[in-house]
Structure 1
Amino acid sequence: MRRRLIALMLLLGLPLTALADGDAARGEQLSYTCTGCHGIPFYKNVYPTYTVPRLGGQNQEYIVAALKAYRSGERQHATMQAQANTLSDQDIEDIAAYFASLATLEGDAS
């Protein structure tokens, strides 16, 4: 049923965020470990060296997909896989809802 609803929404051009089930308040509580890296402005990962992406204001569906891909092993990053492996589907939805709710400001690295 959900797949049919998504297909209908896509055909009608409606945003998928209308299906979002995440609880942003709970996501804020769950995301305390995320901010250890993603909450530091211009933070660089040690190896391989790259700037850790900002999550504040990021697309909710993207965050959900990324965390599920880390959890399944489809995306490779040992720290992210370890974090994602501790999360339920609802945890992921809540964390994504929280970060998507944050406004991105110039220089914001949340």
Structure 2
Amino acid sequence: MISRLLCVGGLLLACSFPSHAQDAKAGRDKARMCTVCHGDLGIAVAPNAPNLAGENAAYIANQLKAFKSGKRQHEQMTIIASGLSNEDIADLASWFSKIKIEATAPDL
């Protein structure tokens, strides 16, 4: 009985998440369109653009989905996100989240 419950619970859990595999390599290729504002490695070069390097993948994906749905508005990002598939969003989020950033304290 318990094993059946665990099996059913596992199936329900597996079905409740999107089936889009996150592909950081594909995300890196897709991120070329992002470099004008967010830089080659996710460190913003535009003054009002956020840094994306090392950001949580779920956060990035949620923001892109909000731009795509119109829930969040930004002139350029709404246009860009409208052309992204769920797979594109997962790949981009994976790429930016995997970029390692390092902070070091200055010698004083």
Same fold (TM over 0.5): yes
Alignment of 1:30-49 (within 5 A): 30-39=30-39, 41=44, 43-45=46-48
Q: Quote the RMSD (CA, aligned, Å).
A: 2.8
Alignment of 1:1-110 (within 5 A): 4-5=12-13, 21-39=21-39, 41=44, 43-45=46-48, 52-106=49-103
Bigger-Rg structure (1/2): 2
TM-score normalised over the length of structure 2? 0.71
Which structure carries more helix by proportion?
Answer: 2
Q: Quote the sequence identity (%).
A: 39
Return the alpha-carbon distance in structure 2 between the equivalents of residues 88 and 20 of structure 1. 10
**What amino acid is the match of 1:22?**
Q
Structure 1 residue runs of 4 or more that deviate by more than 2 Å after TM superposition: 40-43
Return the alpha-carbon distance in structure 2 between the equivalents of residues 30 and 53 of structure 1. 18
Count of residues paired in the alignment = 90
TM-score normalised over the length of structure 1? 0.70
Return the alpha-carbon distance in structure 2 between the equivalents of residues 83 and 42 of structure 1. 18
**Unaligned residue ranges in structure 2 (runs of 5+):** 1-8, 104-108
**Unaligned residue ranges in structure 1 (runs of 5+):** 7-18, 46-51
Return the alpha-carbon distance in structure 2 between the equivalents of residues 20 and 29 of structure 1. 17
